[in-house]
Amino acid sequence: MYKNFSENIIFYLKNEMGLDQSSIDLGIKLSKRDNAPLPILLWSYGILTIEELDKLYSFLFQNMK
């Protein structure tokens, strides 16, 4: 289940937000290192804007199961 959830986030970041794989990989690496949520980490490093962060969280909340 967690794997599916992670795949949905990555799919959304790539296809809806237009992030490239290297940005996503960097975010995942830093998220694991800092033990921080991926969306917040992407925003704090300037990879996502605050508006994109809001859209990402809206997507996540709508797709939680």
Query: What does pTM read for this prediction?
Result: 0.82
For residue range 2-36, what is the model confidence (pLDDT) as tens digits?
455 588 899 999 999 999 999 999 999 999 999 99
Contact criterion met (CB below 8 Å) for 58 and 14: no
Q: Residue 59: its pLDDT value, please?
A: 93
Which residue in the block uniquely carries the two structure tokens 């859209």?
A: 55
